[in-house]
Structure 1
Amino acid sequence: MQQTDHTPAIDRMHLVEGLGKGLRVIEAFSDEFPRLTVTVAAERTGLTRYAVRRYLLSLVHFGYAATDGKHYWLLPKVLRLGQAFMEGARVPRLVQPFIQRASIQCGETLNVSALDGHEIVYLSRSNAARGASIGFHQGARVPAHVVAPGLAILSTLDDAALDDWIAGHSFASFTGFTLVEPQAFRDSVVLARRLGYWQADQYINFGLCGLSVPLKDRRGRCEYGVSVTVQRLAYPDDQMVTRLLPVLQEVAETLRPII
């Protein structure tokens, strides 16, 4: 996750710059760029071709990537990096029984997610009582402006931090309902701040709606959100808020003293 305002600052003299650059090379791979040449990797990381080639060859040597001599791609071993976080992080493990209990109560799949820069990453997921569960799998990453947890978590920022975030965000459109105008998005986040929750109506997929509340710790700080995604037709009018918001609020209030 990104460094938060209560993370101690680290003197740059103690940093291993090469490690940071190597991680940038790993992060250069994506759905759009699953296979990279040295040139493309250099463009995406801002590093020199010489440096990128060394990092890519190192990834190949240590089993994290493969190459055909021109293109490079990641191997499953790289998943160990994310799995180490999932196994070692306290909050994803802590919230699991609580969201599982709430899922049984309401019959829907619940998620706990975090804001990582300009993306929401889903960390924990319950198993819905229904045969088919809807929503994002554990580890999924999506642009923060298209899902309810994004606006719910951003609503806890002060105005200056929110403005900085919006200024650096790319508002891609997924459906005709996606909030793509920065001012309209800001207005929605401010409204979410007043409401204490946010409902995302078909922002990323037609027919799907999300509902989320901020998951604050005992000091009132917020790094996570708890949410639910449902079929829009299953909750006409304001039934989604009426029936599911109390469930999410109860989870958030129960977890607040212990996270």
Structure 2
Amino acid sequence: MPATSPPEGLDKRDWIAGLEKGLSIIEAFDEANPRLTASQTGVRCGLTRTAARRYLLTLAHLGYVQSDGKLFWLTPRILRLGQSYMESARLPRIVQPFLQRVTAGTQENAYLSVLDGDEIVYIARNGTNRAMSTGYVLGARVQAEVTAAGLLLLAMREPAQLEAWLAQHTLRSFTSHTINSKERLALEMARIRAQGWAISEQQLELGTRGIAVPLRDRHGVLAGALNVTMPMGHEPTDDAVNRVLPVLRETAHAMRQLI
């Protein structure tokens, strides 16, 4: 829902509420709501039907939305927004050769992940195209706490920030292995913070394991997570960690001076 006033730190005269509302219209569409009426869009965005319709018609004129006169849906043109990031951001380009190194050293799919709000986003990828959950597609967004990369990046937050996140966030179960207790999740994040790496098994998808290490820049600032995902098969957890973790750590260390 759009804010009613400028966020803290931004002068009112520099705030364009219409842009915020227009972006909220785009974000109203998702897997559960691929087609919406103006009224439904207004409810999801905190706008009146009339206001939502005006934004939708403007987006339709610009080519980002189509309509049959009642329902509205996004067009492929919307992908230009994400493509602009992928083409202009420096980090995804820099890490690609290093992801290839991880894949060669582990025979697993390798990713660079960043945290955006409550979700993890995969911004670079290397590996085979074997069948995996859509949660592992380049550019996909997944609830952070059910992935190794997300657990790691959350755990690396300042304690007060993490405590506030846990208090406000609603946990969702994806499988029978998903951690859905805030107390247990807090303990898991404390363990991850202490050891400096994370593992997640079957929390998002049955039979899938993820291992992640932090990626820091030359100043020591956390830039994202370097991680692999793999089918668990019959490989024990300890064997998988011993096989993959050294490669991830060595690669993250080698990347540090370049970012």
Answer yes or no: same fold by TM over 0.5.
Answer: yes
Q: Distance in 2 between matches of 1:59 and 1:236?
A: 51
Deviation, 1:220, is 2.3
Aligned to 2:149: 149
Is 1:99–2:111 an aligned residue pair? Answer: no
Is 1:232–2:232 an aligned residue pair? Answer: yes
Q: Per the alignment, do residues 48 and 233 of structure 1 end up closer, same or farther by CA in structure 2, a change over 3 Å counting?
A: same
Q: What is the aligned-residue RMSD (CA, Å)?
A: 1.7
1:84-123 map, 5 Å: 84-123=84-123
Identity of aligned residues (%): 43
Deviation, 1:174, is 0.7
Aligned to 1:132: 130
Q: Secondary structure at the match of 1:139?
A: coil
State whether residues 108 and 133 of structure 1, in contact with CA within 8 Å, keep that contact through their aligned partners in structure 2: no
What is the one-letter code of the residue matched to 1:19?
A: L
Structure 1 runs (4+) deviating above 6 angstroms are: none
Q: Per the alignment, do residues 203 and 196 of structure 1 end up closer, same or farther by CA in structure 2, a change over 3 Å counting?
A: same
Aligned to 1:178: 178
State whether residues 25 and 41 of structure 1, in contact with CA within 8 Å, keep that contact through their aligned partners in structure 2: yes
Q: Distance in 1 between matches of 2:106 and 2:132?
A: 13
Structure 1 spans left out of the alignment, 5+ residues: 1-8
Q: List per-residue Cα deviations over 1:24-47 (Å, max 9, x = no partner).
A: 110011001111111211121112
1:1-259 map, 5 Å: 9-128=9-128, 132=130, 134=132, 136-259=136-259
Deviation, 1:257, is 2.2
Q: Distance in 2 between matches of 1:18 and 1:156?
A: 35
Structure 2 spans left out of the alignment, 5+ residues: 1-8
How many residue pairs align between the two structures? 250
Q: Distance in 2 between matches of 1:78 and 1:106?
A: 35
Q: Distance in 1 between matches of 2:94 and 2:38?
A: 41
Q: List per-residue Cα deviations over 1:127-176 (Å, max 9, x = no partner).
A: 24xx7375611111111111110111112101111112222322110111
Deviation, 1:49, is 2.0
Q: Secondary structure at the match of 2:206?
A: coil
Q: Secondary structure at the match of 1:256?
A: helix
